[in-house]
Amino acid sequence: MSDIYLKCIEYGKKYKEEEKRVFCDCGGLLQLEFNPIFNVKKIKNRDKNLWRYRELVPINNDDNIISLKEGFTPLVEYKINGYKIFLKLEFIFPTGSFKDRGATVLISKVKELGIKRIVEDSSGNAGASIAAYSAVAKIECDIFVPENASPNKIKQIEFYGANLHKISGSREEVFNRAKEFSKNFYYASHFVNPYFFHGTKSVIYEIFEDFNYSLPDTIILPVGSGSFILGIYIGLNDLKRSGLIRKFPKLIGVQSENCAPIHKAFIKKELSIQKFEKKQTIAEGISNSNPLRGKEILKAIYESEGDCLIVSDEEIILSQKELGKSGIFVEPTSAASYAGTKKYIKNLKKEEKIVVILTGSGLKSL
């Protein structure tokens, strides 16, 4: 028996993990009750992949680990008009996006719970990650995607042997269909299932090690459903609990102006979000008009004294090209964080140490 619990974020009802719950009885979302300690001395000489943070990953038995030795992505210095920033190359992963951080942990948990078949819905990258790690674990998976998702992402999901379901209609429709399907199987969703965040959080431990056990002033990343920013928030709380940091870096979320529910709530200083009347955007990976965990995303941004910025498709395309001139090829969704950074730097009054997260490979969007 494990001492990890899943707790409703609304009313606090708790479930043992063996109950395999993904939602609360009240329909609310769950978070993990799992409060590990980061021990620098223990960790620093281990192999350089995500599993060096072993005690901070909520898997009970090593035999259940499903890993492709992911993580330890490069952190590179870069100049924007003479201003020095750091790029964290989170597209350097087995499947070409940071989603592998979440998938390695979630699929390990799926194995640990003895589950044989899972369901996920995604605009593409999370589906590819879940499909790849399910293949490693020999777990059957059904991936629901919007029929207009990137052809390369759809092919990648099929390549790993997943059962693919192409759904017409909105992103919400895709979610509803997957949720319905998951009545019979386990819902391994990257934005609902809390184990996923306990994988994505590892990026902050890496950054903490990259900067010799300190953190930058500011972290800029694209935000859609929140699987990355919420992981970062959990990781920051882990470091704080371990007595290693006092203050959080500012978390700056970047959204597309065509689909910006978090930005809209943020500028009105609201605590929860409303569905956004979205338009088509090239940044498909953050094109979620109604993120389920909106409240939690806003809390992470407010608590870190961060910000939420919007960028246009034109700015995204320009940014993608600009990065290409330095040999860095990212997909449009990922270029949004660079476009946001250019805006952010323009308005800065004093110098900050900034890490910009590049989330997905350009090969995905050819």
Q: Contact positions toward ligand PLP, by CB under 6 A?
A: 97, 99, 125-126, 222-228, 285-286, 331, 333-334, 359-360
Give the nearer residue to ligand PLP in terms of CB position, either 8 or 232: 232
CB of 222 to ligand PLP, least distance (A): 4
> Given the complex with ligand PLP, which of 216 and 261 has the nearer CB atom?
261
Nearest residue (CB) to ligand PLP, 126 versus 354: 126
The β-bridge partners of 118 are 141, 186
Residue (137 or 336) nearer to ligand PLP, CB: 336
Q: Which residue type, as a one-letter code, is found at position 152?
A: N
Q: Hey, which residues does 97 pair with through a beta bridge?
A: 360
- Residue 352: exposure state from Cβ atoms within 10 A (0-12, 13-18, ≥19): middle
Measured from the CB atom, the residue of 227 and 304 that comes closer to ligand PLP is: 227
Q: Which is nearer to ligand PLP, 8 or 259 (CB)?
A: 259
Count how many Cα atoms sit within 13 Å of the Cα of residue 78 in the half-sphere of its side chain.
24
Query: Least distance from C-beta 109 to ligand PLP, angstroms?
Result: 18
| Smaller CB separation from ligand PLP, 92 or 244 | 92
What's at 138, amino acid-wise?
K
* Rounded (5°) CA angle 95-101-102: 105
Least Cβ distance, residue 213 to ligand PLP (angstroms): 27
Which of 264-299 are b and which e, b meaning 16 or more Cβ less than 10 Å from the residue's Cβ?
A: ebbeeeeeebeebebeebbbbbbbbbbbbbbbbbbe
Nearer to ligand PLP, 58 or 253 (CB): 253
Provide, rounded to whole angstroms, the least separation between the CB of residue 317 and ligand PLP: 15
> Which residue in 339, 340, 334 sits closest to 358, CA to CA?
334
Q: Which C-beta is closer to ligand PLP: that of 218 or that of 225?
A: 225
User: Minimum distance between the CB of residue 74 and ligand PLP, rounded to whole angstroms?
Assistant: 17
Give the shortest CB-54-to-ligand PLP separation in angstroms.
24
Closest-approach residue to ligand PLP (CB): 360
Smallest separation (angstroms) from ligand PLP to the CB of 3 = 28
Helix axes 229-241, 202-210, angle to 10 degrees: 60
- Minimal distance, residue 47 CB to ligand PLP, in Å: 26
Both tokens assigned to 54? 């072993």
| Residue 152 neighbours by CB distance under 10 Å | 17
The helix (run of H) or strand (run of E) holding residue 250 is strand 250-256
Q: At what angle do helices 332-346 and 313-324 cross, to 10 degrees?
A: 100
Q: Considering the complex, what minimum distance in angstroms separates the CB of residue 102 from ligand PLP?
A: 8
How many angstroms separate the Cα of 316 from the Cα of each of 83, 284, 309, 340? 19, 12, 13, 9
Closer of 125 and 319 to ligand PLP (Cβ): 125
Q: How far is the CB of 291 from ligand PLP (least distance, A)?
A: 7
H helix runs in the chain, sequence order: 40-43, 99-112, 125-137, 151-159, 171-181, 194-200, 202-210, 229-241, 261-267, 294-303, 313-324, 332-346
The amino acid sitting at 306 is G
What is the phi/psi pair of residue 207, to 5°?
Answer: -60, -40
